[in-house]
Copies of this chain bind each other. A is one copy, B any other.
């Protein structure tokens, strides 16, 4: 672990630097697969599924029978846990509903804003060792609340041609309309162009490896929106002597086990706390099943000592952490003033894993500094805002002259004329 004491502000950017990604190497592969899927549809998708996942499908859509098997496979204990998490995620996203915002800006000029669902959305759920059924909840629950009428889920099959039963169980529970056994670049390409088996969607959500990330970025060039650019997961904890070193260490390690490129940072105004957390990390690390991964991430982690809360806040705001845990005496100072963070966890009994699974907040969050300019996934991510205006005869008489003058000044005579004709008809 790197311990850094009182770094000067001019060194912050380099201290807080994230690992660079090598997007260029991947781009050619992604473009090739996109072109193939655009041209050959399901034939190309099947080819890449065989190539990358080692299975061939006549029909890649998950059947009702497969879902039935999944439902019977999941333990009652896990079902109850998923049910509790789902209820909390529902509660938190339900309250995010906004009603129509309406105002008469001038007499006779009524303007309003309404949010309407994005009609077709695609959810990508990675395969691999950790079956992210929790992400299914985080994406499908708000999609359903938003009122999206087509919710497509793509996830790669394992070598036997199956998707993890917990993913199927969660998808079915949350009202996903179609589940397709396809992963990687070919899944993103399929949802971008549409094939016979894979519906074309308007927006794609969900995490993935570097290939999926680049594929999502390329999808935006074909008219599809995405939730946000992705990057390795990250956690920053600010702690003073009121924190519990064992808890802080466990949070840092829970982040570190995600991947070797995970970012783990502790900022503290207490040198004693830094030392205590460091030694806790060492002992907790020993017994972790994913020790090999966590160890590498921890080796790159940073324990940063600063003089006071003001400096700490400024440094944290410069970083813009995806997950931000606050374990300090004066937590309100950080809560009220943090400008850039994805999700914030407050106090000694609020581990990051609570937000990952069951507190109700969304765990699809901006990493890689994107907390400066992107929202985490929320109800609005599945909707778009539309505006409406209705102007009465009186209304156009009130604002018509201003429109004519401005249109004229911009050299747009036909814009002016549309108003002039109406004003004249009212003379």
Contacts and interface: CB of A to CB of B under 8 A. Distances in A.
Contacts of A133: 406, 409-410
B406 A354 contact: no
Given A96-B113, A351-B419, A389-B354, A402 B81 contact: yes
A417 interface: yes
A225 interface: yes
A354 B134 contact: no
Interface of A: 23, 77-78, 80-82, 84-85, 87-88, 91-92, 95-96, 98, 101-103, 105-106, 109, 111, 113, 116-119, 129-134, 166, 202-203, 217, 220-221, 223-225, 229, 244, 246-247, 250-251, 253-254, 256-258, 284, 288-290, 294, 335, 338-362, 366, 368-376, 378, 380, 384-393, 395-396, 399, 401-403, 405-407, 409-419, 421-422, 425
27 contacts: A77-B405, A78-B405, A85-B406, A92-B103, A92-B113, A103-B360, A111-B359, A223-B229, A247-B421, A250-B414, A289-B411, A290-B411, A290-B412, A335-B388, A343-B388, A346-B389, A347-B391, A347-B392, A351-B418, A353-B418, A357-B402, A357-B406, A361-B387, A361-B388, A371-B384, A375-B386, A378-B387
Given A347-B390, A356-B403, A375-B386, 8 more contacts: A81-B402, A223-B369, A250-B418, A346-B390, A349-B393, A355-B387, A361-B389, A376-B387
